Amino acid sequence: MNTLGLHTFAIAPVWDVSLVEPQMGRILAHGVGLFEIPLLRPEEIDIDATVAFCRKHDVEVVCSLGLPGSLDVIERPDEAIAFMEPAFRVSQAVGSPSLSGVTYGTIGRTTGGPPTQRELDGICGFLESAAKEAASYGLKLGIEPCNRYETHLMNRGSDAAGIIERVGADNIFIHLDTYHMNIEEESFAAGFAAAAPYLGYVHVSEANRGVPGRGMIDWAAAMQALVDIGYGGPLTLESMNHVDEDIAGGLAVWRPVADNPDDVIDAGLPFLRKAAADAGLQLGR
């Protein structure tokens, strides 16, 4: 059984139990067993309410973030580590096993060229320190390759695998996203295979960030590729129904991704479960 997850952005731009709770009937009916909480501003997370919510509904949480534009992990790595410390504390407190996402750079920052050796050296040095800090909280650290329009530092599963092998920390994993893979990989089979030894988390996102099944993603190929590598981790729907203004610019989200926002959950989740089942994956709680 692969756990079916749902990113907060499908419901609201921030994690707020009071916004999620009224929708739990329909969400649980679709088999969701995990919620991804973006830690854009960790101090805003109500830890007690989140823990109580998870116990009440018997669901897991996974925390994620994208580093803000004010940080530079290469020029000022200590400042970036200090920024991440509250996120590590919140992740541990709410019961997340990891902190994942764009933990190695800034969403929306590119140089117009490939990563330089100095940048790659800087990323590896930063991730080595970040992985040690995560381990001190009992956490794993995920790195999510993103498309060329959002970063030039890490675009493919093979890029992430190379970074992990160089850093050598045993608590770093790869977090792939079908939206980014659709732009950067030769195929889903090639991308997932390259990341397979380190793959720990997957976003199942449509090509337009909207309703799965109403875009151009080849879902049969994506699900089959996951079957082929024996992936047993979570599959989390990330849709940009609602995006916090702090990262909307970096993600280039400037119009609605679905005519009817409810369709992301009510049509998208059943579609993903069927696509998974057709490939031989059981997706649910």
The CATH number of whichever domain residue 94 belongs to comes to 3.20.20.150
Tokens representing 52 are 């109580």
- What are φ and ψ of residue 140, in 5° steps? -95, 160
User: Could you tell me which of 77, 72, 152, 70 has the C-alpha nearest to residue 111?
Assistant: 152
* CB-based contacts of 277, cutoff 8 Å, min separation 6: 283
Query: What pLDDT sits at residue 88?
Result: 98
The pair of three-digit structure tokens given for residue 91, joined into one six-digit string: 């992740």
277: enclosing H helix or E strand: helix 268-279
d(CA 13, CA 78): 28
pLDDT of residue 261: 79
CA distance 160 to 177: 12
Angle, helices 268-279/219-228, rounded to nearest 10 degrees:
50
What residue type is assigned to position 259 of the chain?
D
Q: Among all residues, which ones are annotated catalytic?
A: 144, 238
What is the full per-residue pLDDT of the chain (285 aa) written as tens digits? 999 999 998 888 889 999 999 999 999 999 999 999 999 889 999 999 999 999 999 999 999 999 988 899 999 999 999 999 999 999 999 999 999 999 999 888 888 999 999 999 999 999 999 999 999 999 999 999 999 999 999 999 999 999 999 999 999 999 999 999 999 999 999 999 999 999 999 999 999 988 999 999 999 999 999 999 999 999 999 987 555 555 445 455 545 665 777 899 999 999 999 999 999 999 988
Q: What is the pLDDT of residue 255?
A: 54
- pLDDT of 107 reads 82
User: Range of 270's domain?
Assistant: 2-284
Predicted pLDDT at 84:
96
Cα separation, 10 vs 4, whole angstroms: 14
Cα(155)–Cα(64) distance, integer angstroms: 18
pLDDT (0 to 100) of residue 246: 53
Q: How many domains in the chain?
A: 1
Q: Which helix (H) or strand (E) holds 177?
A: strand 172-177
* Per-residue model confidence (pLDDT) at position 248: 45
Q: H or E segment at 91? A: helix 77-94
Element (H, E) at 2: strand 2-7
Q: What is the pLDDT of residue 258?
A: 57
Q: What is the pTM of this model?
A: 0.93
Q: Are 193 and 181 in contact (CB under 8 A)?
A: no
The pLDDT of residue 86 is 96
261-264 LR contacts (CB < 8 Å, sep 24+): 263/211, 263/214, 264/10, 264/210, 264/211, 264/212, 264/237, 264/239
CB 239 within 8 A of CB 258: yes
Structure tokens at 34: 């995990």
